[in-house]
Structure 1
């Protein structure tokens, strides 16, 4: 998979097995490779709010598929001793079509045929579209995995993914779970850093720019006026909304702020909107993963904004934080080939649960297992 930061392709390998009402996940490791610079630049140029052409979409679909195939093949060889039963590809999200709170469509590109050809494995892809067709948001799809994973923890635990967009899954012991995108995770931070350094930097390494800056209260207030934050869940958003032109429009002519202050302010915005979402959902602890946890300034601001709510990482629960979302999509693909639904309607807003994705046959044709008799209700992470 590659997330909304679109900086690299990650592949995680897992051994998955059904045991009674549990799905056992043994993490086998992760490999990662940055997008080739030319490909990343072409993708960045084509993403909203920019316009593009069908020619460029075709080229990107092919080249991203080839990049995914190379990393998947490496994962099979290095992490699975050359043997794997299934590859699951999230693809690269390039557009999430939202109007008036309703998701009409979603597009992830990166042709799975290249992955099937390179690995010989069947490939599950296009996982979000079926939930959208069933009236859902198509996100956060990791919510079913989070609900199974957090089941049995005391209180009201919440799983937080700090990717380009931040999303939250809250799983109370009683009552329905809830999941939604809280707003920007790293999206506005990355956009500000790239624009204000004239492209020399793509992200705030170690949160150093934000750490040297000061939060501008007036700018923060204007950013917090964004209507998305007040919408009730389920809700989703993306870089279609949170991008550099959006931030530039909020910066007034009077905001002659140093770059460090702008980066500090949008970092505080992420921490504040996540913390507000945690409180509104009644969560009693937060278990974070995603690239944002490697930003110590963001994590410090988030701890402060959460006040007495404990903040942990998924590593503390045995699930490597750098690969947590990739492991979640591995689970979704596993559920698909078992004939099991991969969504929680209370989390995505869909009319019903759905078996997700499309399947591209591998080199040996397509032989699906017998459908599982019962769906797992909990996820157990098994140490290697």
Structure 2
């Protein structure tokens, strides 16, 4: 569909002073209008409002009209340049290009990409890699949705409404078979972007104002004592599964999540007055304090990898995707029918070893 692009020069009659009126330009593209000052003025007696030009053949009129023609030519050039680089060009983008200011993004994916670029720089500072991965996934799913369902490479922020939100949510559930909670996570990130744009004045209305995101409470489950013992007694025939088993058991006996466990270093180890070792750290996602005494099994796991370390981290934690994949392999071998994931360890969270203390030697020896 061809865009409607118009440039009009106007006189600010309300600001007339000493027979002079300041001039401004108005750019209109597909109904969107922006107006800005030209930092110039003209004698009110020679300005023709209908043509948007100076009338007559006086020196002032000729110079002004040449100036206006030059401005119009520059804005047309900017419009065509922007059209070659962007599927959607707005009046604001042409104005910003002409004025030499940073072009403000008025399209959904452009704003989302800028947001992700800022967030990526915060990984390891106040943002976990896993959180950024969700931002990136949401961006990619939106990009796919626009291309597959709407046949667009991007869309104006003003075109993102409640119907857009509902259609995207349905796309996630239908095309990717996401349940209510999985789709809700991505939709909540999408909502963060639209809320930011609405508060910045880039969107006329919050598209989520009449759409509530639903989340279903689920019992995440836990491992029974016998199921946990079967993993402790498991004898892996390769180092890959051995590492995964050890990391999982470490999480079970400390209550730490995957991200926090992966970030642990020697600096997090402290000894009390009795010489017992503790981990004193903060959870990666919530930043809350998490001080845990190291019982036999987690302590033996740390000592096991102490000599093998090739980095500052206490344990050889792999990517979350591979970790969960290998956990399922271990669960299958051990005859555990539950969906064993990294998060299940936190809910198992055995803080007392009791009869399991006899297994610590087996874990330490692999």
TM-score by length of 1: 0.22
* Larger proportion of strand: 1
Bigger radius of gyration: 2
TM-score by length of 2: 0.22
Structure with higher RCO (Cα < 8 A, 6+ apart): 1
* Larger proportion of helix: 2
